[in-house]
Structure 1
């Protein structure tokens, strides 16, 4: 369960129900969906996550993880969550000073990259620390660099200016 709407990759807000917390308090669920967690440089999706705006902390159900095919091990001040089928570690969470295990979650968009095209000459210019056109031509002419194409001209470089 989470109170952070922006974490959801998909959210079905027609899923309305109430859940009872350990202190017997009932809270309203405003939807159900999928969020992503990042660990070990990989993004994993968690399904059937409840959207509960009135929560103070995000809650992760160990029982639901187990039923969904995950192995959870608490040992030496950390919690390791593994996929039972692949054996792949999904997350390793260190215990905080308050004896809780804070799992970092993020939106997938936080990890999106942008690819920008540029000419091959400009790419080599940048690779060699803004080497001038004469230097690039010399490297190309003498075949001093493997894979360097023949370079005749270089586009305007704002970094050099």
Structure 2
């Protein structure tokens, strides 16, 4: 990680390809959080292990497209870390985006449309940064009465609704459409999107009718041509 261990509160975020989780030193940056109790620590460049106070999730709109909302999942609150870090791999996966690093700017683009959704700059110390990424707020973060034991804990903010339930409510769309709906409408409490099998989709979306078995034996090439049109 690029951060050191001295504390400095700010709202500038730094993309870090070496970070496995997002990290912040400002508790107000987390909209829903859970106290963290576990042996895991954040290790910085000098080898020092930093205590994880809590873990949570937050969302924010794209400055380029207000209809698109980014999600910072598995966001760790570490008061003693210097910089707010964005895990490049996790951010790309959770939001279906990719990063482009240029000499003077850093761009975040949609994987589907290649639209620029976020633009950063280069700081005086040579690091890519996104200044004022989250809207300023004086509200205290919403605490959830659940103890986290690992950074990948599920956030309990409201009643969990399964993927299968949303899939049925929305008319059985495919997985890509479901992910787009969850991301754009900030639906957080869902189970594993790829874990459910829908028998109704298998029955209602066949691409062709099954072919009946034939007992006829053909002995020469092109004696029978079967075409699925």
Equivalent residues in 2 for 1:2-151, closer than 5 Å: 2-14=24-36, 16=38, 17-38=40-61, 39-40=63-64, 42=66, 43-68=69-94, 69-103=96-130, 104-107=132-135
Secondary structure, aligned partner of 1:6: helix
- Compared CA separation, residues 41 and 66, structure 1 to 2 (3 A): closer
Flag the 1:12–1:87 CA change in 2: closer, same or farther, 3 A: farther
Q: TM-score, normalised by structure 2?
A: 0.42
**Distance (Å, rounded) in 2 between the aligned partners of 1:107 and 1:13:** 23
- Once residues 135 and 54 of structure 2 are traced to their aligned partners in structure 1, the CA distance between those partners, rounded to angstroms, is 17
Contact 2:55/2:76 (<8 A) preserved: yes
Cα deviation, 1:40-80, whole Å, max 9, x if unaligned, reads 26353311111111111111122323443321100141111
CA contact (8 A) 1:36 1:108 kept: no
- What TM-score, normalized by structure 1, do the two folds share? 0.57
Structure with the higher strand share, 1 or 2 = 1
- Do 1:73 and 1:81's aligned partners in 2 also have CA atoms closer than 8 Å? yes
- CA-based RMSD of the aligned residues comes to 2.5
Distance (whole Å) between structure 1 residues aligned to residue 112 and residue 55 of structure 2: 25
Q: Could you say which structure has the greater relative contact order, defined with CA pairs below 8 angstroms and 6 or more residues apart?
A: 2
Q: Which has the larger Rg? A: 1
CA pair 35-85 structure 1, distance change in 2 beyond 3 A: same
Q: Distance in 1 between matches of 2:79 and 2:29?
A: 12
